[in-house]
Structure 1
Amino acid sequence: MLKAVLIDDEEIALDVLEIVLHEVGGVFVERKFLQVDEAFAYLEDTEVDLIFLDIEMPGMNGLIAAERLSLSCPGSQIIFVTAYQEYAVEAFEVNAFGYLLKPVSKERLAKTLERYQFRFRQREQVQSKPIRSSAEEELEPIGETEETSLHLNVLGSMELYDSDHSLVTWRTKKAKEMFAYLWHYDGNPVQRNRILEDMWPEHTLDRAQALFHTTLYHLRNTLKNAGFQDAVMFGDERYWMRLEGIVSDKSQLGALMHYKDGDLSVVGELVKLYRGDYLESENYAWAAARRYEIRAAYLQSLQQLLPLAGRLERESILRKLIMLEPYTEVHYRLLLKDLKEAGEGAAARNLHNLMVDRFRNELGIEISLE
């Protein structure tokens, strides 16, 4: 006999559901609650198999309650019982086991319970399997237990590649942005309200919450399909992303910028790696501060390498500086001087013409060169 609790702000709805459960059979209703907080207090000391939960309730939305229950009652499965069909996507995003529409039909309820029994028996069979020896485990095919690695580019534009080096495609632009947003916080938990304010500032709170749950559902599905299970975590009204399976060009850039004095082997990779500013193409407002920080640190790193570099490395650095700061005259003058000394007359003339044209036509400034 399965044990269950029922949570709904309408007493008649609780009574009707209890009657239907009794008619279907196989479930014992331990308690019924009109208030979510009372259910939380009861479930702290009591284990149940099923939690039947309404979504539209005063005080605490059922979707939010489900997230908390999934953490405090990991052994219990949540089945939503609601009059609103449009919450189906959000319900399964919070890992609900089932979704029943009011008035609950006995046939649909019976199928849900049969599905639970089938999965429960499967889990019992897995748990009852004998533990294999280490020698038997060694017979597992190589690669079966390897961690899935995703490669993320965020310099210039954002691209995510799976372990097969295939570009990950996003269901919606907001799903892509939410991935970037959670990754942006380096695995640190971010409050839900902060996410809503940053990603949906133009919407009301209720609308933003609905969009949030739908977007999170799409994000988790996309990462799951890419082989990255349980990427987004939840706890204490906060969300964060696991980072151990993600390698990024930003982290590679950070490592290169911490070069040892006199080590010029990093110049070529350092210049090549910086394809553009942090999430430049996406231009997310919440990423602006980090964008400026990374850019400033990168420019400083190039400036520090400049006096140490040989002629070819120095030219590579100066051309990168000109690309990033096209209206900084000193970069042009330094490179012109180097090209002249190296006897690169044609290259010097081309650079001179570019400089004069850029300053005259774009800024209205006449440049005088000796």
Structure 2
Amino acid sequence: MRVILVDDERLALDYLERQLMKLADIEIVGKYSDPIVGRKEILQARVDVLFLDISLPEINGIELAEQILETKPDINVVFVTAYNEYAVKAFELNALDYIVKPIRIERLTKTVDRVRERLEIKQEYTTAANQCIKMNLFRQVSVELGSGSSTILQWRTTKAQELFLYLLQYRDQLVRKTTLIDLLWPEYESDKVYSQLYTSVYHIRKTLKPYGDHFQIMNTTEGYILNINQVCLDIENWETRLKDLPPISSETVDEYVESMKLYTGDYLQEYDYWWAESERQRLKALWLNTSMEIADWYLEQELLDKAVMSYQQICSLQPQEETPHFALMKVCAMQHNDVMVHRLYRELSEVLLKELSVEPNQEISDWYRDWCEKAGSKV
């Protein structure tokens, strides 16, 4: 880690240098008591982190940091001062950290660890810019870089997050500005709402900047088009993998089972967006139909234990679905598991009554009553 120190007090400079040298993998490439000389050297040198005193002669440390960040926006700035009234301004400037003198080694260690973490993430982003990255949309949105690490995107506002995900759902298509305004800011006055839209698009571009050309938002007079390049979406990967599989057989059933494991939750499950519901239900229906095909195949092959496990999984994840419950009741009846048949019918009845205010359909109810009579059990 290449470090430069700037403080007009020579004793403070030397003390900070000694503290930093106690830590591993630190290279002090310069230390300056004159901020003007320091600025010149910082702009010319390759520097990872700048430890900068705020109270400097000739120029305020925060002003100096602003000048440096204009030219070198990736440098990590750590403010060091005897006063804490500048803390808010320091973090508005996006400083990495803020240390109050006298500097304790424990506090300095935490700062250096934060710098290392940011540098590692930056390296992953740089690597990812030249290769395909994975974006997860099942359950919660996250991005996986080449190293396999998963990152949740940090959005400036919830509106910026929703706007991005809406554009992503309709990727490669023109989304009109009027549609976005009606979706996100229906209550705003017309003379103010466009500034909200433009600001949110700006924040989206800023958040996506580390990913280079992987995400591009194209402007048109009417609206925006989000294009993605070398981005592997988990929902597309899962759906394509299923469609490419041949019919279920003894040779392919294991591939089906492995493919279904990629469905780790519903589409945008953690986000309460009404506009995502149709896509969520479409993918959920694909999961349900494929899961039923696997379970039914096991049943046809008289692999009853595997059929039971498959139906049980469906019932646990889709408790309101009557078809898998009915199929599982029949299999349990075949196995003479009377207790389980009663339990399944009771659980299905309770969830349907609670969630939908209905009873099991007539076919299921009639079958259950007939079974109870034949089995000598009470309904």
1:145 and 1:255 map into 2 onto residues whose CA distance is: 23
2:224 and 2:202 map into 1 onto residues whose CA distance is: 13
Residue 247 (str. 1) matches residue 240 (str. 2): no
Q: Deviations over 1:179-238 (max 9, x none)?
A: 211110132222222222222223233332111111111111111134556622223433
User: Does the residue aligned with 2:168 lie in a helix, a strand or coil?
Assistant: helix
User: Does the residue aligned with 2:171 lie in a helix, a strand or coil?
Assistant: coil
Residue type at the aligned position of 1:150 = I
Which one of the candidate residues 192, 205, 218 is aligned to 1:233?
218
* Structure 2 residue aligned with 1:359: 349
Evaluate the alpha carbon distance shift between residue 177 and residue 271 of structure 1 in structure 2; reply closer, same or farther with a 3 A threshold.
Answer: same
Residue type at the aligned position of 1:197 = D
* Structure 2 residue aligned with 1:201: 186
Residue 159 (str. 1) matches residue 142 (str. 2): yes
TM-score (norm 1): 0.52
Which one of the candidate residues 284, 296, 305 is aligned to 2:285?
296
Judge conservation of contact 2:135–2:234 (CA < 8 Å) in 1.
yes
TM-score (norm 2): 0.51
Residue 150 (str. 1) matches residue 133 (str. 2): yes
Judge conservation of contact 1:336–1:351 (CA < 8 Å) in 2.
yes
1:266 and 1:162 map into 2 onto residues whose CA distance is: 26
* Structure 2 residue aligned with 1:338: 331
Which one of the candidate residues 161, 166, 176 is aligned to 1:191?
176
Residue type at the aligned position of 1:221 = K
RMSD after superposition: 3.5
The correspondence of residues 1-370 of structure 1 with structure 2, limited to 5 A, is 147-164=130-147, 165-167=149-151, 168-228=153-213, 231-258=216-243, 259-262=245-248, 263-309=252-298, 311=303, 314-339=307-332, 349=339, 352-353=342-343, 355-360=345-350, 363=353, 368=368, 370=372
Higher normalized contact order (CA 8 Å, seq sep 6+, divided by chain length): 1
Q: Deviations over 1:53-83 (max 9, x none)?
A: xxxxxxxxxxxxxxxxxxxxxxxxxxxxxxx
1:297 and 1:361 map into 2 onto residues whose CA distance is: 22
CA shift at 1:254, angstroms? Answer: 0.8
* Structure 1 residue aligned with 2:57: none
Percent sequence identity over matched residues? Answer: 22
CA shift at 1:162, angstroms? Answer: 4.0
Residue type at the aligned position of 2:177 = R
Evaluate the alpha carbon distance shift between residue 305 and residue 145 of structure 1 in structure 2; reply closer, same or farther with a 3 A threshold.
Answer: closer
User: Does the residue aligned with 2:325 lie in a helix, a strand or coil?
Assistant: helix
2:184 and 2:341 map into 1 onto residues whose CA distance is: 43
Evaluate the alpha carbon distance shift between residue 269 and residue 351 of structure 1 in structure 2; reply closer, same or farther with a 3 A threshold.
Answer: farther
Evaluate the alpha carbon distance shift between residue 314 and residue 145 of structure 1 in structure 2; reply closer, same or farther with a 3 A threshold.
Answer: closer
Evaluate the alpha carbon distance shift between residue 334 and residue 184 of structure 1 in structure 2; reply closer, same or farther with a 3 A threshold.
Answer: same
Ranges in structure 1 where 5+ consecutive residues have no aligned partner: 1-114, 117-142
Judge conservation of contact 1:152–1:247 (CA < 8 Å) in 2.
yes
Evaluate the alpha carbon distance shift between residue 148 and residue 182 of structure 1 in structure 2; reply closer, same or farther with a 3 A threshold.
Answer: farther
CA shift at 1:270, angstroms? Answer: 3.8
2:216 and 2:345 map into 1 onto residues whose CA distance is: 48
